[in-house]
Amino acid sequence: MGYKTHNDTFAAIVSYALMNRLRTGILNKMREIVSSANIEKIHLVLSTSGDFTFFLSQGFSKYHDPEIIVYQYDRSDSQKYPWGVSNKALPTSAIIRQTSQEH
């Protein structure tokens, strides 16, 4: 699944309204796919700003969505996705550390 803005610059998301439309579209499409395929866990890698990643993640439902692990990309690390955050785990265990290059 991919989304693209009309303006392919780093400053493409210029308003709250646009961020909210993108989040709503992404979450609706994700939930449609999850429902039709009975998906129980999503591994999510985003190519976006940290701000939008957190904004999107605020829309995840602990009770209505499957487990979603959002991974951190680190270009300088040999392991490109060293850790992620789970929406279902307790705060004390929500950080998921990768032990090998799985993704």
pLDDT in tens, 31-52: 999 999 999 999 998 877 778 8
Q: How far apart are CA 51 and CA 55, in angstroms?
A: 6
Q: Are 74 and 83 in contact (CB under 8 A)?
A: no
Q: Is the per-residue pLDDT at 4 higher than 60? A: no
Q: What order of strands is seen across the sheet that includes strand 41-45?
A: 41-45, 67-72, 83-86, 95-97
Phi then psi for 18, rounded to 5 degrees?
Answer: -65, -45
Residue type, 73: Y
Residue 31's pLDDT is what?
Answer: 96
Residue 33's pLDDT is what?
Answer: 96
Going by C-alpha positions, the residue among 97, 31, 17 that lies closest to residue 61 is: 31
- What three-state secondary structure class fits 90? coil
